[in-house]
Amino acid sequence: MGKEKNPRRVADNEAMAKTRMLRTSPQKLNLVAAMIRGKKVDKALSDLTFSKKRIAIDVKKCLQSAIANAENNHGLDVDELVVAEAWVGKNLVMKRGRPRARGRFGKIMKPFSEITIKVRQIEEQA
């Protein structure tokens, strides 16, 4: 009885995590995502730890969540994980403004974005 189990959205050797509503522009977030793409997870974590970008803290939390999902939910080995994909998307934009000279209005856009990180287990080549 009941509903059937949903099929997995990722392959058997993958896990992913998504963070929404990050208070930064997608362009700035993509710079940090590009920094970790294709790297082993321990190297990616250390790069994010010592990055000067403010948003790197939130990206590190998302990567740690993906690693925890891989270990606890899918039984993957943490030492063999690499960041397979990291992509960035737009989210809402808060519109704010500021009065300007001669009755005009200066628009201030405050964008939000989201990041999805997918980690994959690869076997070590000897």
The whole-chain average pLDDT of the chain stands at 95
CA dist., res. 116 & res. 126, Å (int) = 31
pLDDT digits (tens, 9 = 90+) for 6-20: 888 889 999 999 999
Q: Which percentage of the chain shows pLDDT scores above 90?
A: 90
Q: Is 101 exposed, middle or buried (0-12, 13-18, 19+ CB in 10 A)?
A: exposed
User: Residue 107's pLDDT band (boundaries 50, 70, 90)?
Assistant: very high
Domain regions of the chain by residue span: 14-121
What tokens does 57 get? 């803290």
The pLDDT of residue 19 is 97
- pLDDT value at position 5? 87
pLDDT, average across residues 72-95: 96
Question: Structure tokens of 116?
Answer: 């999805």
Sorted by sequence, the CB contacts under 8 Å of residue 123 that are 6+ apart come out as: 80
pLDDT for residue 126: 54
Q: Please tell me the least confidently modeled range out of 6-20, 56-70, 77-91.
A: 6-20
Contact 32, 48 (CB under 8 A): yes
Task: Quickly list DSSP for 87-115.
Answer: EEEEEEEEEEEEE-GGG-EEEEEEEEEEE
Q: pTM of the predicted model, to two decimals?
A: 0.91
Q: What is the mean pLDDT of residues 92-114?
A: 97
Q: Which residues pair with 97 in a beta bridge?
A: 107
Second-level CATH architecture of 14-121: Alpha-Beta Complex (3.90)
First to last CA, the chain: 48
